[in-house]
Structure 1
Amino acid sequence: MKFNSVEHHSNEADGTGRIHGFAPLSRRGFLGGVAGVGVLSLLGGCSNGAGGTGSTGAASDESSGSILAYYISNPTAIDPYNCQETMGSQVVSQLFDGLMIYDFQNDELVCTACESYEMNDDATVFTFHLREGMTFHNGDTVDAQSFKRAFERIVDPSTNDSPSAISYHLEPVQGYDELLSGDADELSGVTCPDELTLVISLKYSYADFPYVLTHPALVPVPQAALDDPASYLLAPIGNGPFQMEGQWEDGQMISVRKFDDYYGTPSSIDGVDFSIRRDVGSAYMEFQAGTLDFCQVPNAQYEDATQQYGISNDGYTATPGNQVLNGSELSTYYLIINNTQPPFDDVNLRRAVSLAINREAICETVFNGNRTPADGFVAPMVDGYQEGSWEYCKYDPDQAREILDQYYPADADGNRGITLQLSYDLNGDHADIMDVVMSSLNEVGIQVTADTGEWANIVARVHDLDYQFCRMGWSADYPTLDNFLYPLFCSSSPDDASGYKNDEVDAAIAEARATVDHDERIAKFQAVDKMIGEDCPVVPLFYYQHNYVVAERVDELYLSPGIIPSLDAVKMG
């Protein structure tokens, strides 16, 4: 998971039968695959695969002209060991191939570095069969041991001076707790019967575990990652369609170039220059001047950009004249509520607060329509999303007043005796969003005081349950109902920062996670989702959307809902 530190990603101050694939494709070519998790039972199969007007974009000094100039803000890391946010993930995903990717267009898992996998009867053991002939950028062989090495490197607290921020992805694996605590020197649940077979054994049933392996950090690493970690930090050696050219120039540039010995179809472009800029405003000016091919659009200029460059036909694929990407993402902006203390220990108040907030006004006035009002916590691009799943996640001030009149009647002066404290930081657009929230609540007789401060301090208080309600963002690591529901609403999860506890919900989540049949698992999670919605433990406000623009000289560029671009499949004139 990712608790978002800003309203949008880091540039605003912030997972029947074995099917073998032999014909190598580009990773975008995987999107035409046909075998997905929808038919998983005891065995898991994989589809074939390996691997406007205005600005015309950046000119290249290479003869082919196919170097893409791609805007990012400075990443936290480009070493998979600590790949924890969207900027770093966009780079890491070009340098590395993991075991799986998720095909959003066909709603299915697809194999990349493995050609097939199997799952046992109770979803506790997964066996992956790797492709032959894969090499790292330095010529080393990609084998099962390279995945075990990578996973242990992430969990082992002695790997680097500071522990990995993303080791929690591997928490289900047997031996995780022992390695993390320093009581073991290997991840016992990851074994390598031979060079091309990787077996992962879990502590509990978790049928969605293959989705976990779609995370950009869960990729193989060569021995060089252990031998020279300092160099690897700045110039990681991967197995993907691009390799590093030089080192990461902190705050300036990350350059990658086509890897000629890639096991799949070679990249259709020669390389990518990830141009690091401090803020989206200056980056957008460079895009308009023609020095960038890809950029985020400032919120205030979104409407003008759509008129100048045209909107993508599907929200995710940019083509000339349809260059603004505005598809839904795997992220939800919400108000987290302390369910453990008065007055928010009362479900009736939580329901009334949710009904009172004008989500449409936030999306239209703050974001010029580039957000979607939330009707539940799960984002629309997730398999199993149900429209209107949370009954009280809508704007109905009259129903809010009815609930409040019953449980918190107003006195002669209209005072209901409710004063709430709303915590938030002043980065990005949060103040404007919270102004709408407070105004909406005032309209139904709820007084709200602002509690502003530094984001790091607010987050610490939230995890200590020292707050009433607070703005928050959730970005899913994998496109599953589980990744939206288990972390925040299962009382045994370390991310349950609302203090929400419902024993029936806990049991239902555990049952859903252990269900092997895909459709049955989805149905069980959908039922859990509705149960949680009845309790209103948090107040979803809106779903995030892309707000990026691509230069006219780029014939085609795809950016997934998970903000992972298919840069090896970019087409440039």
Structure 2
Amino acid sequence: MRILSISMMLIPLLLGTGMAQKTLNVSLSQDPYIIDPTANWLYDVPANMFVTLVGYDFETSTVSPAGADSWSVSDDGTTYTFHIREGWNWSDGKPVTAEDYAFAFERIVDPATAAPMAYRLYIIEGAQALNQGETTDMSTLGVKVIDSQTLEIKLVSPASWFLSSLGSIGHAIPKWTLETHGDDWTLPENVVVNGPYTLTQIEAEDLAVLEKNPSYFAADSVDIDTINLYVVKEESTALALFEDGDLDIVSVPATDLDRVKNDPMLSAEFYNGPKNIIYYYDFNVLQPPFDNVKVRQAFVAAVDKQSIVDFITKGGEVVAPTLTPPGSVGHVPASAGIGIPFDPEHAKALLAEAGYPGGEGLPPITLAFNSSETHSRIAQAVQQMWQQTLGASVELQPVEGRAYSQIAAEGAFNVWRMGWGMDYPDANNIHGELFTSEVGAPAIVRNAQYDSLVAEAAVEQDPARRLEMYTEAEKILVQDEAGVMPIYWSAENLLIKPYLKPVLSGSFNREFWKWTLEN
């Protein structure tokens, strides 16, 4: 998109809204047409249009009311009963009911929807059988409408993480609009919403416009009237737009951090804070040399993670000895001493014990990453560390396209870069969804004791005991087995205009309804 296009596009928008006092201009890296929250991973646009049963308050680390204003849990932890807010309507005037939420869960587990996050609902009775095509009888799903404002969800077993996970899945959607418009139900002229904003305009692949929804149950608390989301794929382009005054908030690319921090004007608008994303490398244990645990441990011990965050990313990232980020339930503090520290001499000794003294006999190593400048620079640094410390021959392999994760997981490379943003702030989101034998990639390490600990932690109700279990699970995965190499927990580096007051929590999506603009 040309840099001048935003200013040109803004003129008719302002005229059409009567020069609305509070208009936010932001960049969007995702496809603006991805709107259905039951068929896709959740992105910024649908996150601001539809409402989940509950939310999550990252400041207090507690589940908060959203579509449901109250709920209860049975003594055995398997039945959740939600009371849906009363006196709250869809944007077309129809009341929001328990049926709207039940339909959302049914749609997610329906294999015809092909929802990528359907597995997250397998904890609900009947969900897995329905999603995997073992039955088509939707009445077997443990989601029941008790009355117009009461929804009941029955689980296969207790799940301590389940309630917080509902902050990112199970948005109510209007069944009647899908029946009327089919795949076109999300177009601006057809879409019906119950959230803070409604979609009023999409311009090809350049722009999406959100307008405040007066039917939202908390509309009076929504400060910003209009949000223009401009599709800008390159961070450097977005930064230029911010500097020209066309955007109100942008991410700062790693390559521009030094310039921004040293600029008298930009440094005053700079924000740095934590981001719930883990950056890590996976090892392929299906073939030599990483089928040998001592080799894996040696390669981890040879990586100076601190130098990566100090001299490459330089954005306030925090070295990660374990996987679960700070602020999430089950985070293991550094004081626990879990993980493999940087120790070149120990790395050499481990490699010799594995039968490769000085790297002699090591086969060539392929290190893959999905193409980006930052991923490439980190991979180059790791390549140099492994070559200098271990004598390894490492070939870097940048990979384009969406198929990267799948082909890497199946064993196409020896080592590959991965990252995971927390969909909900609980260690189960990482351990229960990425690394157990049941759900993990085919090429990663398997460990029965780890599997057992993760399964037990998922149902354990005592927070202290859960932390003990996740501490032991992390030790097995990142230290004893060294099947994964955590590198760092990400940081958020932003430029924010002084008149914008965003709420920057741990949410994976931007919650614009919580943001304010000063006149």
TM-score, normalised to structure 2, is 0.88
2:89 paired residue among 135, 138, 158: 135
Q: Which residue of 2 aligns with 1:557?
A: 502
CA distance in 2, matches of 1:503, 1:537: 13
The one-letter amino acid of 1:143's match is T
SS of match in other structure, 1:261: coil
- How much does 1:322 deviate? 5.5
For 1:460 and 1:531, how far apart are their aligned partners in 2? 25
Amino acid at match of 1:416: E
Task: State the partner residue of 2:36.
Answer: 79
Aligned to 1:184: 136
Deviation at 1:265, TM superposition (A): 4.6
1:95 aligns with 2:49: yes
- 1:166 alignment counterpart: 117
Residue aligned with 2:502, SS: strand
Within 5 Å, give how 1:24-63 maps onto structure 2: 62-63=18-19
**Retained in 2: the 8 A contact 1:310–1:324?**
no
1:191–1:334 Cα change, 3 Å: same
**CA distance in structure 1 between the aligned counterparts of 2:280 and 2:290, rounded to whole angstroms:** 15
- For residues 488-567 of structure 1, what are the structure 2 equivalents within 5 Å? 488-493=434-439, 495-533=440-478, 534-554=480-500, 556-567=501-512
* 1:21 alignment counterpart: none
Cα gap change, 1:572 to 1:359, in 2 (>3 Å): same
Gaps of at least 5 residues in structure 1 are 1-10, 12-57, 312-320
Distance change >3 Å, CA 309–CA 532, structure 1 → 2: farther
**1:386 and 2:332 correspond:** yes
- Structure 1: distance between partners of 2:160 and 2:330: 15
Structure 2 gaps, min length 5: 2-9
Q: Hey, which of these two has a bigger chunk of helix by percent?
A: 2
Q: CA deviation at 1:140?
A: 1.5
C-alpha distance in 2 between matches for 1:461 and 1:570: 40
Q: Deviations over 1:187-244 (max 9, x none)?
A: 62110111111111122332211122111x4210112133313332333422111122
Could you say which residue in structure 2 is the equivalent of 1:367? 313
Give the corresponding residue for 1:16.
none
User: How much has 1:438 moved relative to structure 2?
Assistant: 0.9
Q: Which moved more, 1:140-149 or 1:202-211?
A: 202-211
- Aligned counterpart, 1:357: 303
Q: Please state if 1:69 is matched with 2:25.
A: yes
- 1:63 shift after superposition: 4.3
Contact 1:294 1:548 in 2 (8 A): yes
Residue 365 of structure 1 and its aligned partner are, at CA, apart by 2.8
Structure 1: which amino acid aligns with 2:136? A
Matches within 5 A, 1:28-427: 62-75=18-31, 77-84=34-41, 89-159=43-113, 163-182=114-133, 183-186=135-138, 188-215=141-168, 217-222=169-174, 223-235=176-188, 236-246=191-201, 248-266=202-220, 267-308=222-263, 323-388=269-334, 391-408=338-355, 410=357, 414-419=358-363, 420-427=365-372
Q: State whether residues 488 and 497 of structure 1, in contact with CA within 8 Å, keep that contact through their aligned partners in structure 2.
A: no
Deviations 1:454-500 (A, max 9, x none): 4545433333234321111122221101111122321112x344432
Q: Offset of 1:446 from its aligned partner?
A: 3.4
Corresponding residue for residue 446 of structure 1? 391
> Hey, what does 2:4 align to over in structure 1?
none
Identity of aligned residues (%): 24
Shift in Å, 1:278: 3.0
Q: 1:235-284 CA distances to partner (integer Å, 9 max, x unpaired)? A: 342211112223x3331111111122321252112121111123222221
Cα deviation per residue 1:314-355 (whole Å; 9 max; x = unaligned)?
Answer: xxxxxxx85333222221111111223332122211111111
Report the AA paired with residue 251 of structure 2. Q
Q: Aligned to 2:24, what secondary structure does the other structure show? A: strand
Task: Report the residue type matching 1:514 in the other structure.
Answer: V
Provide the rounded CA distance (Å) in 1 between the counterparts of 2:421 and 2:118.
17
Q: CA 1:357 to 1:325, structure 2 compared with 1: closer, same or farther past 3 Å?
A: same
> Within 2, Cα distance between the matches of 1:517 and 1:132?
34
Q: Which SS does the other structure have where 1:69 is aligned? A: strand
Q: Does 2:426 match 1:480?
A: yes
Q: How far, CA to CA, are the matches of 2:242 and 2:156 in structure 1?
A: 49
Question: Relative to structure 1, is the Cα distance of residues 458 and 64 closer, same or farther in structure 2, using a 3 angstrom cutoff?
Answer: closer
Contact 1:66 1:271 in 2 (8 A): yes
Query: Quick one: structure 1 residues 448 and 391, their matched pair in 2 at CA, closer, same or farther if it must change by over 3 Å?
Result: farther
- When normalised by structure 1's length, the TM-score is 0.80
User: SS of 1:281's equivalent?
Assistant: helix
Secondary structure of 2:183 counterpart: helix
3-state secondary structure, aligned to 1:78 = coil
CA contact (8 A) 2:422 2:508 kept: no
Whole-angstrom distance in 1 between the partners of 2:323 and 2:423: 15
Could you tell me how far apart the structure 2 residues matched to 1:193 and 1:435 are? Answer: 58
* 8 Å contact kept, 1:326–1:545: yes
Q: Which residue of 2 aligns with 1:318?
A: none
Aligned equivalents of 1:435 and 1:158: distance in 2? 42
Moved over 6 A (4+): none
Q: Displacement, 1:144? A: 0.6
From the superposition, tell whether residues 550 and 205 of structure 1 become closer, same or farther in structure 2 (CA, over 3 Å): same
CA distance in 2, matches of 1:137, 1:347: 57
1:355-382 CA-partner distances (Å, limit 9, x unpaired):
1112122223322344222221111231
Whether contact under 8 Å (1:374, 1:393) holds in the other structure is: no
SS in 1 for 2:393: strand
SS of the equivalent of 1:74 reads coil
The amino acid of 1:67's aligned partner reads: T
How many aligned positions are there?
495
Whole-angstrom distance in 2 between the partners of 1:498 and 1:328: 31
Higher mean alpha-carbon deviation, 461-470 vs 59-68, is at: 59-68
